[in-house]
Amino acid sequence: GVLGLLICSLVRYYRNVARYPKGPCPLPFVGNLHQLDSKAQYKTFERLGREQNGIYTLFLPMPFVQITDYQTIREAFLEKGEDFVGRPTIRLVQEAFGFAPNSGVVNSNGDNWREQRRAAITIMRDFGM
């Protein structure tokens, strides 16, 4: 009974993990928190960016897709923009990164995100990107 429930929960969890770009294998409840360098998290992000060709997912414990490669960022904004609309808002993240209603394309959502994206694309094109 309990073992069957545990196995079903694990299968469901890892099926959800498989929906995202590859990254280090997370653990249920803690995600990848145990794999981050607590003193220099940016080193973990840089290493994963190199290992995963510019795009990967970290579960902290919720999934965060990280894009570190210029070409991948460009493709995400220009060709697959609608895939990035409607992201969940997480109060802790908003507070940690100083969320404001018009805080750029990274922290916005919905119609505001579309407007910010349009402006960012125009600016990138003006600079020849």
Flag whether pLDDT at 7 surpasses 90.
Answer: yes
pLDDT recorded at residue 6: 95
Q: What does the block give as tokens for 61?
A: 């414990």
The predicted model gives 55-73 an average pLDDT of: 88
The predicted model gives 102-123 an average pLDDT of: 73
DSSP 27: B
Flag whether pLDDT at 83 surpasses 90.
Answer: no
Question: How many residues would you count in the chain?
Answer: 129
Cα radius of gyration (the chain): 17
Give the integer Cα–Cα distance in Å for 81 and 5. Answer: 38
Q: How many domains does the chain have?
A: 1
Give the integer Cα–Cα distance in Å for 21 and 18. Answer: 7
pLDDT recorded at residue 85: 66
> Which of 21, 23, 43 is closest to 32 using CA atoms?
23
The CB density around residue 79, as the number of other CB atoms within 10 Å, is: 9
Residue 65 has, within 13 A of its CA and on its CB side, a CA count of 18
Q: Which domain holds residue 51?
A: 2-126
The chain-wide mean pLDDT, for the chain, equals 83
